[in-house]
Amino acid sequence: MLIPIEGVLSKDEVRQFREQLAAAPWEDGLKTAGTLARAVKRNQQLADGSPLAVELGNRILRKLGNNPLFISAALPSRIYPPKFNRYADGGTYGAHVDSAVMQVPGSSVSVRSDLSATLFLAEPDEYDGGELEIEGPFGIQAAKLEAGDMVLYPSSSLHRVMPVTRGARIASFMWIQSMVQNDSSRTLLFDLDQAIQGMSGVVPPDDERLLKLTAVYHNLLRQWAQP
């Protein structure tokens, strides 16, 4: 399930982020690369735990906590603190799968990566290349979204960032541990929730059909959720 979420950040918020990131002390992304990733990863990142990364990451988390589409799609239990990267001058990240379990730096908290998310902070016309390609059951899907938009996809997917040949691709990325670990179950709940929301405002809130669908949703969530 690949889900675009528009307007996580407003254009004004993106501008503020970009102004702060313009003077950021970017580091070689190889510092956080595993053994296999070192052969395919070429980018820059903000250091984990840097004051700027923490400040901007917390702003993103507050926005996501109030985003109904994100909550519906991810059913988040834990979120690995947002990280920030930059691709330029041929920067790329070859095909890879994200680690299954990640420890939050400076803590004893671990996050199981059920979902991965990329929040774009550069407009598509600011750079050439840089598409996020995600392999799924229906082939390869490419994402290159407007600044402020996010794409959410299963962490189990093989994915890559294509080489950036002009400009710079700037983004935030993170991993989510969902209350519902199974992707198929989570997809069914998302589709059901979207159908219920689509009925809201069309039929009365006490309509028997709406009440039954809502009951089915919560009973399935009760059965599958692992808070």
CA distances in angstroms from 104 to 63, 71, 82, 226, listed in the order given: 20, 21, 11, 20
Query: Is 114 one of the annotated binding-site residues?
Result: no
**Residue 214 identity (one-letter amino acid):** T
Query: Is 98 one of the annotated binding-site residues?
Result: yes
DSSP state at residue 203 = B
Q: How far apart are CA 53 and CA 84, in angstroms?
A: 7
* Residue that is written with structure tokens 């899907």 in the block: 141
Residue 86: strand pairing partners: 44, 170
Q: How far apart are CA 85 and CA 132, in angstroms?
A: 13
Query: Is 222 one of the annotated binding-site residues?
Result: no
Give the sign of the dihedral formed by CA 63, CA 68, CA 69, CA 71: positive
Query: Is 89 one of the annotated binding-site residues?
Result: no
Known binding residues for 2-oxoglutarate are 169
Known binding residues are 96, 98, 159, 169
Known binding residues for Fe cation are 96, 98, 159
